[in-house]
Amino acid sequence: MEGKQPETGVGLDVASMSTDDLLALPDFRMSAEERTDILLEAIRNKENAIRIGKETLDAVISEARSQGVSFSALGDAMQCSPQAVQQQLARREEQNA
């Protein structure tokens, strides 16, 4: 973190902070319960970002498929095999059904 260290972690955007930044907060002297709350909030925010990223990726892949992009090209873009892309799409379609 740049500049002056905040007095507390309350109200911070912990999702954008690195673990080192979280641990460097002066109030890491706070209670274990308070530290747990901050860390759990960071986990919730990261999980939400991952979920949104997956949903966005699904939408982009679906659009690419509707435009005729091959599984081979998608696999190259995603750095995996075409079969892995097909399996991933099948799993997501099952989850969304």
- The percent of residues in the chain predicted with pLDDT above 90, rounded, is 45
Surface-to-core class of residue 37, CB atoms within 10 Å of its CB (0-12 exposed, 13-18 middle, 19+ buried) = middle
pLDDT digits (tens, 9 = 90+) for 21-58: 877 777 666 778 888 998 999 999 999 999 999 889 98
Single out the residue of 43, 44, 47, 27 nearest to residue 35, CA to CA: 27
Q: Angle at CA 39, nearest 5°, toward 44 and 6?
A: 115
Mean pLDDT score, 4-16: 60
With a threshold of 0.85, does the pTM exceed it?
Answer: no
C-alpha closest to that of 8 among 31, 48, 45, 18: 31
